[in-house]
Amino acid sequence: MKRYVKIAAIASAVLFFATAVFYVIDIASTEAAVVKAGSHPADIKVVQYRLKQWGYYTGAVDGIYGSKTIAAVKKFQAKNGLAADGIVGSKTLAALGVSVGLTSSRSLLKQGSTGSDARKLQQRLKDLGYSVTVDGVYGPKTAEAVRKFQRNNYLATDGIAGPKTLSKLGISVVGGSSTGGSSSSNLYLLAKCIYAEARGEPYIGKVAVGAVILNRVKHPDFPNTIAGVIYQPGAFTAVSDGQINLSPDSEAIRAAQDAMNGWDPSYGSLFYYNPAKATSAWIYSRKVNVTIGRHVFCI
């Protein structure tokens, strides 16, 4: 009997320890997607800049999560149908369209680097208000944006994103040439294209434009990433005329999120066009799935 009790006690202790470890790991992973008092200053700055950009925040972009930042977050949350708790969790981050919760590494990026790491760097710089195109190519303009960030943060101004610069930005890079990008970066890029291509259209039409982009990602005839589809030469007028660089509004971000969550009002379409503007005879030969607002969606 005593032996049984001892074995049961050991088993209970092991189970408790395993549960505790899992709980701690789960908290850590959750905390990585939250911005609040005590978070990395670079993450707080990203949130402050975006809130300031949209008129919710009037204070300094200083990386301090004080009362003005909390009030701005609550105002944004209330306006966007979110729980107004003043803490930037995953839903608020998605609505803001920013990436946070990243840590620094020993890797570095410099002119000539390409892929998801370069895109992650560019997105963070853009989120912080620096003029840079998020295209995954570390060219002269990206290097200049890095130098400006370095000067503003009292770092060596060499245009190379080494460990100190990455740490100050609050991001990590892993090397390689993957072009997938983080889910938050993809959401924001998709929202930018939706805003540039479909602002003024009904909400369902915005979601449909996002769905077309995602349908192309899945189709073998198109690039297999959101960035690849959007920046494919000649694919979207908004890229050709530069409107892709406009900041999306909250409705475009919500439309992008709905599209990424699986809503497809285009019914599997791969193309869309405005009959009042389209001049290509080829596009009129495509099978029409649905018309929403001024756009005809087809395959």
The pLDDT of residue 184: 66
Residue 103's pLDDT is what? 40
Ranges of the chain whose pLDDT falls below 50: 1-2, 4-32, 102-106, 175-181
User: Which of these, 136, 132, 116, lies nearest to 183 by C-alpha position?
Assistant: 116
**pLDDT at res. 177:** 36
Residues 78-94 have pLDDT tens digits of: 998 899 999 998 888 87
Widest CA span in the chain: 87
How many other C-beta atoms lie within 10 A of the C-beta of residue 244? 21
State residue 107's pLDDT score: 61
- Considering its fold, how many domains does the chain have in total? 3
Q: Give the pLDDT score at 83.
A: 92
In a domain, 221, yes or no: yes
Q: Name, in order, each residue with C-beta under 8 angstroms of 178's C-beta and a sequence gap of 6 or more.
A: 115, 116, 117
pLDDT (0 to 100) of residue 149: 94
Q: How many CB atoms lie within 10 A of CB 82?
A: 17
pLDDT of residue 20: 37
Q: Does residue 2 lie in a domain region?
A: no
Token pair, residue 79, equals: 């306006």
Angle at alpha carbon of residue 132, lines to 241 and 213, rounded to 5° = 55
Domain endpoint, select from 55, 76, 96: 96
Output the CA angle 225-77-226, nearest 5 degrees. Answer: 5
Q: H or E element: which one contains 291?
A: strand 288-292
**Does a structural domain hold residue 12?**
no
Packed helices 41-53 and 67-79: angle between N→C axes, nearest 10 degrees? 50
pTM for this model (two decimals) = 0.44
Check residue 18 and give its pLDDT. Answer: 37
- Residue span of the structural domain in which 168 resides: 99-181
Are residues 208 and 115 part of one domain? no
**Domain boundary residue, one of 117, 151, 181:** 181
Same domain, 109 and 83: no
Same-domain pairing of 232 and 177: no
The CATH number for 286's domain is 1.10.10.2520
Q: Bridge partners of 273?
A: 296
Q: Does 91 share its domain with 108?
A: no
Helix axis angle for 183-198 and 203-218, nearest 10°, is 130
User: What's the pLDDT score for residue 3?
Assistant: 52
Q: Report if residue 3 sits inside a domain.
A: no
CATH no. for residue 50?
Answer: 1.10.101.10
Query: pLDDT for 8-33, tens place per residue?
Result: 444 444 443 333 333 333 333 333 46
